[in-house]
Amino acid sequence: MNKICFILAFLPMALSAQSPETVEMYNKGVAAAQEKDHPTAIKLYTKALEIDPMYPVAYYGRATAKMALKEYDEAAKDFAKCIKLEPKHIKANYYLGYCEMKTKAYDRAIASFTKAVENDPDLTKAYYYRGYIQMNEKNYEKAASDFKKTVDLDKENTKAYYYMGKCLDKSGKKDLAKTAYASAIASDSKYVPALYENAKLYYKAKDYNSATEAFSKVIAVEDDNIDAYNYRAMSYLKNDQLEESAADFEKLVLLSPDNKNAWTNKGVVSIKLKDYETAADDYSKLIELEPTNLSFYKNRSVAYIQLEKWEQALSDLNTLIDKSPENGDAFYNRSNVHLQLKDQSKACEDMRESAKLGFDQAFNYISGLCDQ
Mean per-residue pLDDT, 179-197: 98
Q: Is the CB of residue 94 less than 8 Å from the CB of residue 113?
A: yes
What was the pLDDT predicted at 14?
Answer: 42
The average pLDDT across 231-241 equals 98
325 has a pLDDT exceeding 90? yes
pLDDT surpassing 50 at residue 3: no
Question: What pLDDT does 368 receive?
Answer: 87
> Does the pLDDT at position 7 exceed 60?
no
pLDDT tens string 349-361:
999 999 999 999 9
pTM here is: 0.85
pLDDT reported for residue 17:
59
Q: What is the pLDDT of residues 287-309, one digit of tens each?
A: 999 999 999 999 999 999 999 99
Compare 149 and 88 and report the one with higher pLDDT: 149
Given this model, what pLDDT does residue 104 score?
A: 97
pLDDT at res. 242: 98
> What's the pLDDT tens digit per position in 8-53?
434 444 444 578 899 999 999 999 999 999 999 999 999 999 999 9
1-120: in CATH 3.40.50.300: no
pLDDT of 202 strictly over 70? yes
Domain ranges of the chain: 1-120
311 has pLDDT over 90: yes
pLDDT band at 317; cut points 50, 70, 90 = very high
Average pLDDT of the residues in 317-323 = 97
Residue 241 has pLDDT above 80, yes or no: yes
Q: Which of 17 and 144 is assigned the larger pLDDT?
A: 144
Residue 4: band (very low, low, confident or very high) from pLDDT cuts 50, 70, 90: very low
> Do 254 and 266 touch, CB atoms closer than 8 A?
no
Q: Rounded mean pLDDT of the chain? A: 94
